[in-house]
Amino acid sequence: MDTGQLLDFYRQMYLIRRFEERAAEQYAYGKIGGFLHLYIGEEAVAVGAIAAMSEKDHLFTHYRDHGYALAIGADPNAAMAELFGKETGTTSGRGGSMHMIHPERNFWGGYAIVGGHIPLAVGAGLAIKHKKEDAVSVAIFGDGATNNGAFHEAANMASLWKLPVVFLCENNRYGMGTAVEYASAVPQMLTKAQGHGIEGEIVDGQDVLAMYAVMQRAVEHCKSGKGPYFIEAMTYRFRGHSMADPESYRDREEVERFRQNDPIPLFKQQLLDAEKASAEDFERIEAEVEEVVEEAVRFADESDFPPPSTIYDWVYFSDGEVGKEPERG
């Protein structure tokens, strides 16, 4: 892998980190309402995995979704505006934090219902197989979702029909505020997938290169007609489940211990040690990202809220009179 791509991995992870930190700041200022689930600590999963996907592949994720949107190429300005509920957002301010999308890259969103998007990803996999497309469907979810019936039904169907679906489980050790050992009868989520006859592996989710490599293997497996593949990425979120989380279920010492495995400074040091990049390279990238994120906040703050007259736009209806599909410029 050349230095340019390695540095781009770093830039993407650093962008997600600073975007999320500024989002937390704006939430505290009251500029962002509702729930806000931050991706801080898990950046290597999104960046590494998405880098191994093609533009034809489809992506479905859970509600901790800002990182995926940025990694797949969404405009940071539009992503921040969506958090602000502004008309210039990715879904014109209608979706907010949990419903990022980027249809140009087949990113079909964050979904607020735990596990609810997994059958949708399997449906996309069925369509890919039926149409004989050279693509895969990727479902990203947390460890808690593997306890849901939707996961098992979807996994069974994908395995039975040998669908090109990558199940990517981010095991950050907590489902909301419940440690995995109190919620799962087995310690590794991969065991559940194996129960449905699905091949897979466990990977260090804090290593962006390991995530890139495992997703390459998963995509190749699926495209070769061998059926679905399950990846369990061992990761950790450094912030609470959401901004409203008091984090009473874990102590500060645990968080600090896991911070020693922060994917961003670890990757930076790895590239420096291998003489793949210089300190000046990182200073330049970090300065550029700071400007991008600052502009995103400014853009979101100065954008307009959706006009009240558009409240029924994009609302499903049956009589053809209540809602309408607006014209897009």
Position 278, amino acid: S
What pLDDT does 319 receive?
Answer: 56
- Confirm whether 291 is domain-assigned: yes
- Confirm whether 323 is domain-assigned: no
Contact 210, 48 (CB under 8 A): yes
What pLDDT does 314 receive?
Answer: 78
CA-nearest of 112, 82, 131 to 297 is: 82
pTM, entire model: 0.93
- Beta carbons within 8 Å of 253's beta carbon, 6+ residues apart: none
- DSSP 8-state secondary structure symbol assigned to residue 42: -
Q: Which residues pair with 168 in a beta bridge?
A: 140, 231
CA-nearest of 291, 277, 215, 298 to 14 is: 291
CB burial string 96-130: b at 16+ within 10 A, e below: bbbbbbbeebbbbbbbbebbbbbbbbbbbbbebbe
CA 308 to mean position of chain CA atoms:
31
What pLDDT does 205 receive?
Answer: 98
Relative to beta strand 174-175, strand 178-179 is: antiparallel
CA 133 to mean position of chain CA atoms:
24
Per-residue pLDDT of the chain (329 residues), as tens digits, is 899 999 999 999 999 999 999 999 999 999 999 999 999 999 999 999 999 999 999 999 999 999 999 999 999 999 999 999 999 999 999 999 999 999 999 999 999 999 999 999 999 999 999 999 999 999 999 999 999 999 999 999 999 999 999 999 999 999 999 999 999 999 999 999 999 999 999 999 999 999 999 999 999 999 999 999 999 999 999 998 999 888 999 999 999 999 999 999 999 999 999 999 999 999 999 999 999 999 999 999 999 999 999 888 878 765 555 555 555 43
What pLDDT does 329 receive?
Answer: 39
Total domains present in the chain: 1
What pLDDT does 312 receive?
Answer: 85
Contact 26, 83 (CB under 8 A): yes
CATH number at 129 reads: 3.40.50.970
Which residue range forms the structural domain that includes residue 164?
Answer: 3-310
- Beta carbons within 8 Å of 47's beta carbon, 6+ residues apart: 9, 12, 13, 16, 67, 71, 208, 211
What pLDDT does 325 receive?
Answer: 56
- Confirm whether 23 is domain-assigned: yes
- Confirm whether 316 is domain-assigned: no
DSSP string spanning 153-200? HHHHHHHHTT--EEEEEEE-SEETTEEGGGT-SSS-THHHHHTTT-EE
Query: Could you tell me the CA-to-CA distances from 216 to 178, 179, 222, 273, 278 in Å, in that order?
Result: 32, 30, 10, 25, 28
- Confirm whether 326 is domain-assigned: no
- Confirm whether 69 is domain-assigned: yes
What pLDDT does 311 receive?
Answer: 86
- Confirm whether 232 is domain-assigned: yes
- Confirm whether 328 is domain-assigned: no
Q: Which two tokens stand for residue 204?
A: 């260090």
